[in-house]
Amino acid sequence: MADLRVNIAGVPFKNPVIVASGTFGFGREYDRIYDISRLGGISCKGTTLHARPGNLPPRIAETPSGILNSVGLQNPGVDAFVREELPFLAEKDITVIANIAGSQIDDYVETVRRLQGTKVDMIELNISCPNVKEGGASFGTSAKSVETITKRVKAVAEQPLMIKLTPNVTDIAEMAAAAEAGGADAVSLINTLTGMKIDIETRRPLLKNNTGGLSGAAVFPVALRMVWQVANRVQIPVVGMGGVTKWQDAVEMLLAGASAVQIGTANFTDAYTPLKVIMGIEEYLDAHGESCVTDIVGKVRPW
Amino acid sequence: MLQAFYKIQSKEQIGKATYSFVIDCPPLAHESRCGCFVHVQCGEKPLRRPISISEIDAENGTITLVFEVRGEGTQWLSERGVGDEINILGPLGNGFFPEPDKPAIFIGGGIGCPPMLGAAQTYGKNAEAILGFRSKEHMILLEKFQACCKCVDVTTNDGSFGTKGFVTDVLRDKLQSEPDAVVYACGPMPMLKGVAELCAKRQVKCYVSLEQRMGCGIGACLVCACKTHEKDGEHMRHVCKNGPVFDAREVDFHG
């Protein structure tokens, strides 16, 4: 039996499968279907300094092999997260990543400050949400602001800091390098690609927000390419996500240079996807005589 | 809450593009209550399709799902046959909390009729139903409602069957003769809004079962939002977890 444990910037995960932010809430709902302690980690719902009601519905539309969403960071705020959600996760054997979003750097800093001394194992900085007008993604689209926000948050975070990157840029590797320069301990990618769908009868966009973030199998090849480019550019660990729906996708991500993968949209299609991916990776490693999952990270043989 | 494959025990086309499946699923049937729904995987589609539970037979371990073909997902589902297994997540949602000793009026608009049936059956002779359809050819489940309710009225937009007009036209008179009734409604938003307004005016308790584009179906992804005005203020609730049944007084029909 291969060793599935991974360590990302000093944070141990019992396996390389993490459920992605925004698709899994704070874990309670899926825990009614299976014990979430079987997962490597959970990246919690994007949390802001104050509670946010999110966008008006409809917030989701189906597209070929994918979905568009425009939830707009609905969340109870960081204090409610610490008070009402963290105790449940602390009871579970799962690595907890808090996903933090905001509209100003000071908000990010204050939100992260309020997570100090809590059971949060790692912080994922969401500077790439495409669905909120007043910011988020705007920090993630210039190398200079990526470096600045990373530096500012790093200064108050005792937990390792992972920057979640947006694919809606010309060169994502440059953004990863900027995060690294700012002191990031890891990067995760990709967030959703901005997209749109129109109802040709009503001539209205399906989403009330007009545009939304595309995820699901449709984005996987783009995500894989970006993970590979980023892994070749930076020294810090890379967590790969974007359209991972089966174990083979996860193995591709690992080979491309990801130290772990996140699974999001696929949870909606089949709640058991993360567990199937964990089993599939293990069987792949055994079948290929690999003793540790870490041994295949970045082992793609490019032409 | 379970996700598993269950067998289609019987299948019937009950309307122009409407199908009724009886699903052999003892664990689901035991957990389900009327007004709940299930989330059904449809081929390779990334999103499941939420389908309300029409009838529950706990004794025989079956539930009945009635759905309309609206797109590629439900088309795929309609092509499944007896003996095929489909992947179902459920039961989901809060369902109705019936008080069967009181009179109740069940209002269904089109594909909003199926979720009313199970609830109407628990009320038996205390139930009345008003079913609204676009036209006679879209009519479904009339006999089923007639079998359990003391009175069933049908409205069609074009007058091809029953009363020409909308369910609210019939409800208006009915509330006069049954002022103590509880109203349960499911159907298109404009219909629900009309029913809710009428009930509010007459101070009649009204519960509506809402529909919204849905993701996970269990309350984790927060996409199926519904704005409510409750005693402690405004909230963004979710149809899959907080609903699909809401107190009509709290629902913001403009949100």
Which residues in chain B touch residue A268, judged by CB atoms under 8 angstroms apart?
A: 46-48, 215-217, 221
Start-end of CATH 3.40.50.80 domains in chain B? 96-209
Q: How far apart are CA B164 and CA B73, in angstroms?
A: 33
Q: What is the distance between the alpha carbons of residues B36 and B58, in angstroms, rounded to a whole number?
A: 14
Given the structure tokens 């390779």, which residue do they identify? B44
For the stretch A137-150, pLDDT in tens is: 678 899 999 999 99
Cis before A190 (ω within 30): yes
Give pLDDT tens digits for B134-146: 999 999 999 999 9
User: Is residue A11 assigned to a domain?
Assistant: yes
Looking at residue A32, its amino acid is: R
Q: Which residues in chain A touch residue B1, judged by CB atoms under 8 angstroms apart?
A: 32-33
CA distance B89 to chain A (A): 9
Q: Does B221 touch chain A (CB under 8 A)?
A: yes
Catalytic hit among A20, A122, A129, A277: A129
**Under an 8 A CB cutoff, do B255 and A22 touch?**
no
B225 and chain A in contact, CB less than 8 A: yes
Q: Tell which wins on pLDDT, A239 or B179.
A: A239
Query: What average pLDDT does the structure give for chain B?
Result: 95
A280 to chain B, any CB pair closer than 8 A? The answer is: no
How sure is the predictor about B102, in pLDDT bands with cuts at 50, 70 and 90? Answer: confident
The verdict on a CB contact (< 8 Å) between B222 and A74 is yes
User: Is A135's pLDDT higher than 60?
Assistant: no
B241-250 pLDDT tens trace:
999 999 999 9
pLDDT tens track for A237-250: 999 999 999 999 99
Residues of chain B with CATH 2.10.240.10: 210-255
**Touching check for A192 and chain B: CB below 8 Å?**
no
Which residues in chain A have their CB less than 8 angstroms from residue B227's CB?
56
| Tens digits of residue pLDDT in A47-78 | 999 999 999 999 999 999 999 999 999 999 99
Q: Give the pLDDT score at B98.
A: 73
What pairs with residue A8 in β-bridges?
A11
B222–A54 C-beta distance less than 8 A: yes
A13-38 pLDDT per residue, tens: 999 999 999 999 999 999 999 999 99
A58 upstream amide cis, omega within 30 of 0: yes
CATH of the domain at A107: 3.20.20.70
B67 forms bridges with which residues in the sheet?
A: B19
For residue A102, what pLDDT band results from cuts at 50, 70 and 90?
very high
Number of structural domains (chain A) is: 1
Give the H or E element holding residue B57.
strand B49-57
Q: In chain B, pLDDT over 70 holds for what percent of residues?
A: 100
Q: Any CB–CB contact under 8 A between A265 and chain B?
A: yes
Beta-sheet pairing, B62-68 with B18-24: antiparallel
Range of the domain at A235: 6-54+72-194+215-296
Q: Is A129 a catalytic residue?
A: yes
- B96-209, CATH topology level: Rossmann fold (3.40.50)
Chain A contact set for B226 (CB, 8 A):
57
Q: How far is B172 from chain A (nearest CA, A)?
A: 31
Confirm or reject contact between B4 and chain A (CB < 8 A).
no
What digits encode the pLDDT tens for the residues A162-185?
Answer: 999 999 999 999 999 999 999 999
B182 touches chain A (CB under 8 A): no
User: Could B221 and A268 be called an inter-chain contact, meaning their C-beta atoms sit closer than 8 Å?
Assistant: yes
Number of helices followed by number of strands (H, E) in chain A: 9, 16
Residue A134 pLDDT class (50, 70, 90 cuts): low
Mean pLDDT (chain A) is 96
- Res. A130 pLDDT band, cuts 50 70 90: low
Measured between alpha carbons, how far is A176 from A256 in angstroms, rounded to an integer? 16
**Superfamily classification of domain B210-255:** Dihydroorotate dehydrogenase, electron transfer subunit (2.10.240.10)
Q: State the pLDDT at residue B101.
A: 83
| Count of beta carbons in the 10 Å neighbourhood of residue A171 | 12
What CATH superfamily is the domain B2-92? Translation factors (2.40.30.10)
Sequence ranges of chain B with CATH classification 2.40.30.10: 2-92
d(CA B120, CA B105): 8
ipTM of the complex in this document? 0.94
Q: What's the order of all strands across the beta sheet hosting B245-247? A: B163-164, B151-156, B127-133, B104-109, B182-186, B206-209, B245-247
